[in-house]
Amino acid sequence: MNNTLYSEVPSLDLADFTSGDAAAKSKFVNDLGHAYQNIGFVAIKNHGLSDELTEQLYASVQKFFMLPDEVKLRYEKKELAGQRGYISKGREKAKGRNTGDLKEFYHVGQPTQNKLDEYPENIWPEEVPEFEALTLQAFNTLQEAGVQMLRAIALHLGLDEMYFDDKVRQGNSILRQIHYFPIENPDEIPADAVRAAEHGDINLITLLMGASADGLQVLRRDGTWIPITALPDQIVVNVGDMLDRLTNHKLKSTIHRVVNPPREKMGTSRFSIPFFMHPISSMDLTSLESCIDADHPKQYEDVTAGEFLDERLREIGLKS
Query: For 12-68, what is each residue's pLDDT tens digit?
Result: 999 999 999 999 999 999 999 999 998 899 999 999 999 999 999 999 999 999 999
pLDDT category of residue 211 using cuts at 50, 70 and 90: low
- Edge-first strand listing for the sheet containing 196-199: 196-199, 256-258, 216-219, 225-227
Indicate if the pLDDT at residue 93 is higher than 50. Answer: yes
Q: What pLDDT score was predicted for residue 192?
A: 83
What is the pTM for the complete model shown?
0.94
**Average pLDDT along the chain:** 92
pLDDT class of 193 with cuts at 50, 70, 90: confident
- 1 pLDDT higher than 50: no
pLDDT for 201 equals 93
Span of 66-70, 179-183, 207-211, 217-221 with lowest mean pLDDT: 207-211
* Residue 212, pLDDT above cutoff 70: no
